């Protein structure tokens, strides 16, 4: 921040170098950090206390400005191991980050650089020094807001232009954001999970072949599939069912991703339907869950504030257990629209929204939460074993 001198008092007054301008017209001033410039997106809040680097590199956040409710963001710095985009250097699509207070020098043995420096390198605009509790309350009461986040070192902003840009942005409802985050070409994945002192491993042999359709997949999902003994082939979001089946998969995985599932579903749902008709074992997460639901005739709806955090209680009706899960979604499957051949397997204990389904007449299931994100820390890892069991039965 650049200080100004108050002539009357002689005090040094900090200059506001950052601003959040809502589509409704309000301008909230703070202090910019990270990248400079302006970006438009949907403002959501995330209640996680840890994992900010994973959150800010999650492709599912494309088009969004993330407000952290936890005040101490950036205190452990960043490293090269916790990035969730497959390409370490690629941008996840997140438009900006809002925190209560700036962090000082990072304090962690894994830290390679401070958060602000890392954000600048990745082109992500940061804003600190605003009342994040008030902003969170606004989102809870009025829903996620379209806004522009801006950072100018001199503190000079054209607020009229920023208001016009925020008001003109159409919003994520009705927007297909998958093309901005999907893989450009097919590739194979063999990296397994991280272990203390050893780092990430490599898969040794494989029992099953899984084709993962990339709508914005996270690295740790692919690691857990490899850890479960799967040869993983990742394909772009627009890959046809014919091309997927030509790879002779034992199972298909439908990944997480950003945007409106109904829009992505215009090209993804026909592919999923054909795979389900062929009775290929299929497992979906997040956006993959929503599009599997669309493929069997259910509907999805936009949520007022979404679910973003690492502390969401979800009940698994197949086991009777309650799991603490990680979530990141702004759309939900309408549980009342599920057809008769679909069983609801998981439900949020916060608001009763649908969080999982299984097909009665096909080897397929999906969940709304992120089992790979490990908030439990391993409450939901059994889902990968469930997928393997499904492939085992189908093969038999």
Q: What is the pLDDT of residues 279-303, one digit of tens each?
A: 999 999 999 999 999 999 999 999 9
Contact (CB, 8 A) for 259 and 62: yes
Set 42, 84, 323, 372: catalytic member: 372
Mean pLDDT, range 253-281, rounded to an integer: 98
Q: CA 323, CA 14: separation in Å to the nearest integer?
A: 45
Contacts of 58 (CB under 8 A, 6+ apart): 84, 92, 94, 218, 256, 328
Name the nearest CA neighbour of 30 among 202, 111, 150, 141: 150
Q: Is the pLDDT of residue 10 over 90?
A: no
Q: Output the CA–CA distances (angstroms, integers) from residue 72 to 14, 98, 100, 293, 304, in the order listed.
A: 21, 12, 8, 37, 26
- Residue 35, φ and ψ in degrees, nearest 5: -70, 155
Structure-token match 């059994």, residue found: 382
Name the nearest CA neighbour of 365 among 310, 321, 304, 317: 317
Contact (CB, 8 A) for 68 and 53: no
Q: What is the pTM of this model?
A: 0.96
Give the pLDDT band (50/70/90) at residue 6.
low
Name the nearest CA neighbour of 34 among 9, 65, 8, 58: 65
Contact (CB, 8 A) for 60 and 258: yes
Length, in residues, of the chain: 396
Q: Output the CA–CA distances (angstroms, integers) from residue 155 to 19, 23, 63, 183, in the order listed.
A: 9, 20, 25, 38
Query: 314, exposed or middle or buried, with CB in 10 Å at 0-12, 13-18, 19+?
Result: buried
Q: CA 115, CA 118: separation in Å to the nearest integer?
A: 5
Give the pLDDT band (50/70/90) at residue 17.
very high
Contact (CB, 8 A) for 92 and 85: yes
Taking each continuous run of H as one helix and of E as one strand, the counts in the chain are 9, 21
Per-residue confidence (pLDDT) for residue 9, from 0 to 100? 66
Question: Residue 290 belongs to what H/E stretch?
Answer: helix 287-295
Q: What 3-state class would DSSP assign to 295?
A: helix
Interhelix angle 382-395/219-227, nearest 10 degrees: 50
Set 44, 230, 286, 355: catalytic member: 286
Contacts of 186 (CB under 8 A, 6+ apart): 233, 234, 235, 236, 239
Mean pLDDT, range 171-190, rounded to an integer: 97
Q: Is the pLDDT of residue 2 over 60?
A: no
- Name the residue with higher pLDDT: 87 or 123: 123
Distance of CA 240 to the CA centre of its chain: 24
Q: CA 313, CA 303: separation in Å to the nearest integer?
A: 18
Active site residue 370: yes
The least confident of 48-62, 82-96, 142-156, 222-236 is 82-96
Q: What 3-state class would DSSP assign to 303?
A: strand
Set 16, 151, 346, 370: catalytic member: 370
Per-residue confidence (pLDDT) for residue 91, from 0 to 100? 78
Q: What is the mean pLDDT of the chain?
A: 95
In the DSSP assignment, the letter for residue 122 is H
pLDDT, one tens digit per residue, over 68-107 is 999 999 999 999 999 999 987 777 899 999 999 988 899 9
Active site residue 372: yes
Mean pLDDT, range 145-153, rounded to an integer: 98
Q: CA 132, CA 135: separation in Å to the nearest integer?
A: 5
Give the pLDDT band (50/70/90) at residue 8.
low
Per-residue confidence (pLDDT) for residue 87, from 0 to 100? 85
Q: Is the peptide bond before 377 cis (omega within 30 degrees of 0)?
A: yes
Name the nearest CA neighbour of 257 among 64, 51, 45, 42: 64
> What percentage of the chain has pLDDT greater than the value 70?
97
Give the pLDDT band (50/70/90) at residue 1.
very low
Per-residue confidence (pLDDT) for residue 213, from 0 to 100? 98
pLDDT, one tens digit per residue, over 32-62 is 999 999 999 999 999 999 999 999 999 999 9
Structure-token match 């995985």, residue found: 253
Active site residue 286: yes
> What percentage of the chain has pLDDT greater than the value 90?
91
- Name the residue with higher pLDDT: 379 or 322: 322
């Amino acid at each position: 921040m650049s200080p100004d001198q108050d002539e009357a008092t002689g005090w040094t007054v900090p200059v506001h170098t950052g601003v959040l301008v809502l589509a409704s017209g309000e301008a909230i001033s703070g202090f910019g950090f990270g990248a400079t410039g302006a970006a438009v997106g949907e403002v959501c809040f995330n209640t996680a206390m840890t994992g900010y680097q994973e959150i800010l590199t999650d492709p599912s956040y494309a088009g969004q400005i993330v407000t952290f409710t936890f005040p101490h963001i950036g205190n452990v710095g960043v490293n090269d191991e916790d990035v969730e985009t497959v390409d370490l250097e690629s941008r996840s699509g997140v438009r900006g980050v809002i925190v209560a207070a700036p962090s000082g020098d990072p304090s962690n043995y894994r830290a390679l650089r401070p958060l602000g420096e890392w954000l600048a390198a990745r082109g992500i605009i940061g804003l600190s020094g605003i009342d994040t509790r008030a902003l969170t309350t606004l989102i809870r009461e009025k829903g996620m807001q379209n806004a522009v986040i801006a950072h100018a070192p001199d503190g000079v902003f054209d607020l009229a232009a920023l208001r016009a840009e925020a008001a003109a942005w159409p919003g994520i409802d009705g927007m297909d954001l998958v093309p901005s985050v999907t893989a450009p070409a097919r590739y194979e994945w063999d990296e397994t999970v991280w272990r203390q002192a050893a780092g990430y491993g490599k898969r040794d042999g494989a029992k099953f072949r899984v084709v993962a359709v990339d709508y914005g997949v996270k690295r740790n999902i692919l690691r857990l599939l490899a850890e479960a003994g799967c040869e993983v082939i990742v394909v772009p979001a627009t890959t046809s069912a014919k091309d997927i089946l030509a790879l002779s998969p034992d199972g298909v995985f439908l990944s997480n991703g950003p945007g409106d599932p109904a829009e992505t579903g215009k090209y993804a749902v026909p592919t999923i339907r054909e795979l389900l008709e062929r009775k290929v074992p299929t497992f979906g997460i997040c956006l993959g869950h929503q599009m599997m639901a669309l493929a069997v005739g259910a509907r999805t709806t936009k949520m007022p504030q979404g679910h973003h955090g690492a502390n969401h209680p979800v009940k698994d009706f197949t086991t009777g257990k309650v799991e603490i899960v990680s979530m990141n979604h702004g759309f939900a499957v309408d549980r009342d629209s599920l057809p008769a051949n679909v069983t609801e397997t998981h439900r949020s204990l916060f608001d009763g929204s649908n969080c999982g389904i299984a097909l009665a007449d096909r080897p397929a299931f999906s969940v709304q939460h992120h089992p790979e994100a490990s908030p439990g820390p391993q409450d939901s890892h059994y889902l990968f074993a469930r997928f393997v069991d499904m492939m085992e039965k189908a093969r038999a």
